[in-house]
Amino acid sequence: MTAVNVMIVLEKDAENVTIMNYSDYAYNFSSFDYDGFPELCLKEPNRQFRLWFMSTFYTVICLLGLAGNLLVILTVFHFKRLRTMTDVYLLNLSFADLLLALSLPFWAANSMAKWMLGLMLCKAIHTVYKVSFYSSMFLLSFISVDRYFAISKAISAHRHRSEAVFVSKVSSAVIWVMALVFSIPEMVYTNLNNNTCTPFSSSSDPLRVSIHVSQIVLAFIVPLLIMTFCYSSIVHTLCQARGFERNKAIKVILAVVAVFLVCQMPYNVVLFWTTIVTAKGGTEDCSYENNLLYATDITQCVAFLRCCLNPFVYGFIGVKFRHDLMKLLKDLGCLSQQRFFKYTCGRRRSSAATDTETTTTFSP
């Protein structure tokens, strides 16, 4: 094969033409130093993982969340069961978790494909998600405070029982307003960036640091501290009491705390570490960045599980609430009369001693 010389015109003006042999140009081009240029980090494996993982788990969580929380809401309204502070908080918690469950299909679509629903719906879904997220965390804290006063401070709680429902309604309204206020930054900054609904311009956006830090503090550390103090005091009070029901109530408390920690702790640890990486300007290690994305996706799905577990932990486990639920299912034709008496009568008699308004949700 004979070498073919190709002449390339590099500069041309009115008086001269600068011509360079292609072989010389190719040599200079191939010897160029590319070390200073960043490599493109491919995230195709993560995208493929999201396609099956999020579509599967978000669908399961959404369906269970809708079913569980709708049952709580229907039971409360059917029996007009707003007699205690916990009943009011539980109803509001169910509405918050229901909103979160309804937003999950949109989040799954946003994570797996281009956002095609416009900017207004993008901002609306982000706002609904954040408001429901903050309100549910605050409500869990208020439920623990209510139980603390109902059990550890039973005498004073009984004295102010007539005022409790009104206080719970006012405090629930304040919780929703607080949740909306804390959601304003993301509501304002949420936009369509690279066909994705997000408040952040990039993975190293400084705004991400401030929003994540406030979320970790307000929606995890503060509720965790409140729940730790309240439930520790409750367990201490129950340990001084006598009776078989005491041990069952302690098991319920441990289940409540375990669900909160298992669902929220992994996600907040990953979120905290991601925030540190972002504050340092990001990472150039593509494998490390992809591993953080995998960890975020998995732990976030685990965190979303709380919206379908809360009805069972906080509602259906209580004696009165479980009895009302069975009666509702019987009235709707989903449960026979024989099964209704089988599931309710014996248990109601065995737990009658602890079936009071102040210990409803701690009764087995």
pLDDT in tens, 256-268: 888 999 999 999 9
Domains defined along the chain, listed by start: 45-323 (1.20.1070.10)
Q: Name the pTM for this structure.
A: 0.80
Highest mean pLDDT among 12-26, 59-73, 336-350: 59-73
> CA nearest 302: which of 272, 259, 254, 273?
259
Report the chain's C-alpha Rg in angstroms: 29
User: What number of other Cβ atoms are within 10 A of residue 310's Cβ?
Assistant: 28
The secondary structure of 14-54 as a DSSP string is SS-EEEEEHHHHHHHHHT---TTSPPPPP-HHHHHHHHHHH
pLDDT in tens, 57-86: 988 999 999 999 998 898 888 877 777 888
Mean pLDDT (the chain, rounded): 78
Highest mean pLDDT among 43-57, 172-186, 350-364: 172-186
Does the pLDDT at position 223 exceed 70?
A: yes
**Token pair belonging to 191:** 């936009």
Residue 75: the pLDDT is 85
Which helix H or strand E contains 193, and what residues bound it? strand 191-193
192 or 177: which carries more pLDDT confidence? 177
Residue 356: the pLDDT is 39
User: Do 223 and 137 contact (CB within 8 A), yes or no?
Assistant: yes
Highest mean pLDDT among 66-70, 116-120, 174-178, 346-350: 174-178
pLDDT in tens, 182-205: 999 888 888 888 778 888 776 666
Residue 3: the pLDDT is 46
